[in-house]
Structure formats: C-alpha cells, structure tokens
Chain A
C-alpha cells in the first residue's frame, strides 16, 4: 500500500496569536511551529496501516525551507520519505494544486491529511485534491480500516456518523479517534536525519483570494460573579439580562 500524507507546519496550540505589518500578516516572532495535530493523527494511522513492511508512507509539505524541522519530525514518527514543494502557500487552492501536481503520476492508494490545519482552518485541501485528481474524497473521518483495495471509514455527521466504503484511490481528512498518537522514539529520530527529503519547485497557480486583514476577538467585559449559595440568580440573569434561555 502506498500512502501520501499531506502535512502543515502550524503555530503550536498554546500560541498567543498576534499580527504584524498593519495586521496583514501573522506575527511569527517567538512562535514555536509544530506538525499540525490533525495531520499528525493522519500520519499515525498511515504508519499503523503500513506496519510490518506492508507499504510506504510519503509525507508532503508545501512550504519554505523553514518547515523542514516539522518534516523531519514526521520522518521521525515513521514516514518512509518526504517531499517539500518549495513555496510560500497563498491559499488552500494553491496547496491543493501543488500536491495534485505531484501526486497525479505517483499512483498512491490513499492520500490522507488532517481534517483541517489549526491555523487557517479552511478544511479545503482534501476535497480539492479529490476533485483535482478526480477521485473520491471524504472530509472528516474518525475511523479508517483497509480491506484489500478498498477501505471502510466512519464519517462524522451532525449528531451521528455514516459508515462508508470507498475503493482506492481516495483522499480523506482525519479527526481524532482515527489512530493512537505516535511519539517518535530515539531510533526514529536518528533515522529521520538520513531519510530522503526531496525538494521540488512549485508550479504556477493563479491566486483566487488573499487575506488582507487579521483581527483578534474583542475582549469580553469583566465576568459577573454570582454567589455559589444562590445559583438560581444565574438562571435569572441568563433569562432576563442575557436573554439566552
């Protein structure tokens, strides 16, 4: 089985988000970048599925050289090899076009990515890839089992789940539950240094949109505290002041 896992390099989940350049750019100063947690879960499942020599896992990232520590982390977790498309991504469409261009003649059975990246949260790349490669895509899955040349997945829906079978090749976006988190061991970290990491040039893609301004949510006023001895006052406030119940 040949699996491709698309990975993003994102600010650590504890990052305080600030902006620079008149609020048009994310302020990267002092920010720790990590492998997008949802992508890490996709990678973990890919590695589980190819254990015992049952296939290969290639990771791909569209990014500048600064993303390489994250790519090496993916190799340390257990990916076989890696590809970096050398470009600063502009939007999800740009990323999807680059990955589709790489994947189109590689005959992957399965292409996985996290359900979304925790920075731009577009949740667009997997379905765009499906469309660009003209193969099925399934957006948010919590379970993925392979049986021969097809897979059974559980897709999340409002208030429940759908169980679907999909023939290879297809693209899927993974959520928590699809695998156990894998932590790189010493052997993995050592071998990651010498695993192949190919750097390819990007293709030209017409830009469809761009972010012009960022802002952070307005701070809330001070909390109104209700005495623990009279919690019924809270219900009264929610009813007559906040008018939400």
Chain B
C-alpha cells in the first residue's frame, strides 16, 4: 500500500497548488502508515523534482519522453494508473485543476476506484472507514462522502490545504510507461497562455467587478488594483454575457467556483448564483453604493460607496502600504 500524487507542471515549473497537493497526500500517507510517491510527466528539471521531497514525497517517478511532452488526457491517465499499480498505491491524489478534472475520472475507471473531486479536507480514516468532505451544490453546501471502494482517486481544491515544508530531498527515478497508440488520438495545435496575469483558479487574491462599473472602458482601475495586489481579475455573469470581459473571468454558479483568501467584489449586488461561486472565499470585501445589496449579508468587510470614488483611493492606499513595508 502507498499513496501516489500526480504533480502537474506548467511549463516545467510547479505551482503552489501542486505543493498543496503533495503536502495533503503526504498527510494521508502518514494517516495510512505508508509513504508518498510523486509522479511527474513532461520536461521538468531534476532539481525541481528533488525539491518535492521538502513537501513530503520520498520518491519521484519522472516520465519524460517526447510523446508525453504536452498534456494528453488519455495518455497521462494511462501512465498515472500504470504507476499506481506498480507502486501498489490505493490512494491517488491530484490537484483539481482543469487538467486534473479531465484525468481523475479516467484514472478512477482504470483503477476501479471511487473518484472524489474537489476535496477540501483530509479524509477521516477513523475505525477503518474512509470519509472525505467536498463542496456540492456549487459551493452552497458541503457533502461528506463515504468511500467503500478499495481504491480512491482524490482531487484537491486549490487553496484549501496548507503547504507543509518539513521534508528533505526526494529520490528521482525514471519511469517508463507502455502507452497504446489509441491514447494519442488528440492533437494539441496551440497553447495560448496569458503570462502577465495571475490565473483565476489558482489566485489567492481576486478583485472582481460587476455591472456597477457601467462599461468595459472602466476596468482600468480594477486591473490596476489587481496588479498592485498581485490578484487575479474576475467578473459577474451579466458582465461576461455582455462581453465586457471574457467568459473565463466569470465566477458564479455557471462560471467557475473559486476559494481565494480574499475576494473583493466591486459593483456586484450578490445574486445567489454569484454567491455560490465565491462563498468559500476566506475573506469577502464588498464595495457597493446600494446599502441593501444582498452581498453585504455574506461579506466580512464592506464599503457603502461609489466604486468610481472608492477604488482610486484604495489604489493609493495599497501603494502607500507597499511603500511602507
């Protein structure tokens, strides 16, 4: 028995959400009295791989060949499932990233495993049972799932588990897989990545704005505030529906659900569908000129005021905070 964690890289580097997944998987391994192995697919420097030991991986399987250089769902799932079998792993952990969402179910089927997606806490293994908490109803609720299957595939919601750094260096081993040709039917033609922006699903801080901004031309101050804070930008559904902002920024029930440490909502009234996507944020700040806006009911901090007056002052305040620290 062992625990396997898949460490997804973004252009050869690991993001914080991956260190969270490794730390989380390590704690599960300790709960189950076993060790943690990580598997990396793609071109990652060995120093980066050894560094995973710091978060608790004792061994790293390195799969680096030309055919598996870019993410192909089917092929990656085969490799990870094969590694899980060889390592005798009955728990596989992934980050619930866009790629993780595509992988976890396929790995689950290959291993006859139960798939728990969007886990937000460690499993409870008291008395031989295995229960785990995840979000449900688009973050309006939590569900505790009891797993009866022997094998488990768990995808961890980013920003829901703390990075723990108390390990050493991991042993890196080359791992070769036997993919079948049918694993490679999809072809990636192009990857477009905005490198100058913080990606929304991973963001610890998010500045979001709604219809109160009146038009796309007024987003300059939102972007400036976000840049100063190192935050990602987001928006409400009416804003993306009106094409003021891209759909990828839409948070809420039919957009994406996020759980940053800080969510600043500017000119968003707080419809129940919007709240669903952001209610697991740790701190919520609402700026709205309508004191009756429902968003204030679920906020930690608020300012009743006009965004066009308040936001420029916030920008100045962040600048002076940065200058003094």
On A, residues with C-beta under 8 Å from B are 11, 13-14, 16-17, 19, 26, 37-38, 91-93, 96, 118-128, 130-132, 134-140, 142, 152, 155-167, 170, 175-177, 207-217, 220-221, 223-228, 231-232, 234-239, 242, 244-245
Nearest CB of A to B41, in Å: 15
How would you classify the secondary structure of chain B's contact residues: helix, strand, loop or mixed?
mixed
In angstroms, how far is the closest chain A Cβ from the Cβ of B37?
23
Q: Are A245 and B262 in contact (CB under 8 A)?
A: yes
Contact B149 A127 (CB under 8 A): no
Supply 14 A–B pairs (Cβ within 8 Å), ascending by A: A13-B254, A91-B114, A92-B105, A136-B186, A139-B73, A158-B15, A164-B188, A176-B254, A217-B280, A223-B301, A224-B300, A228-B309, A228-B310, A232-B316
Instruction: Give the CA-CA distance A28 to B90 in the complex, in Å.
Output: 36
B193 at the A interface (CB under 8 A): yes
B247 adjacent to A160 (CB under 8 Å): no
**Are the C-beta atoms of A128 and B109 separated by less than 8 Å?**
yes
Q: List the A side residues contacting B297 at CB < 8 Å.
A: 223
Does B57 lie at the interface of the complex (its beta carbon under 8 Å from any beta carbon of A)? no
- CB neighbours of A217 from chain B (8 A): 139-142, 279-280
Beyond contacts A127-B104, A217-B280, A223-B299: 11 other A-B pairs, Cβ-Cβ < 8 A, are A38-B254, A119-B136, A121-B118, A124-B117, A130-B74, A131-B105, A164-B189, A175-B247, A212-B144, A231-B317, A245-B229
The reply on B86 being an interface residue by CB < 8 A is no
Contacting residue for A209 out of B110, B149, B194, B282, CB 8 A: B149
Query: Within 8 Å CB of A170, what residues of B?
Result: 185-186
Flag if A176 contacts B247 (CB, 8 Å): yes
The answer to whether B300 touches A223, judged by C-beta atoms less than 8 angstroms apart, is yes
Q: Give the bracket for the number of chain B residues in contact with chain A.
A: 35 or more
Q: Is the pair A221, B131 in contact by a Cβ cutoff of 8 Å?
A: no
Residue numbers in B under 8 Å from A127 (CB-CB):
73, 101-106
Would you give the 0/1 interface string for B112-141, flagging 1 where the beta carbon is closer than 8 Å to chain A?
A: 111111100000000000010001111111
- B33-55 CB mask vs A (1 if < 8 Å, else 0) is 00000000000000000000000
Do A231 and B138 touch (CB < 8 A)?
no
What are the nearest 8 A-B pairs in CB distance?
A228-B305, A159-B199, A160-B193, A139-B102, A232-B317, A127-B105, A208-B114, A131-B109
Closest Cβ–Cβ distance, residue A195 to chain B (whole Å): 27
* B contact residues around A224 at 8 Å (CB): 300-302
Given known pairs A165-B189, A209-B116, the reply for A14 and B273 (CB within 8 Å) is yes
Interface contact B253-A118, CB-CB below 8 Å: yes
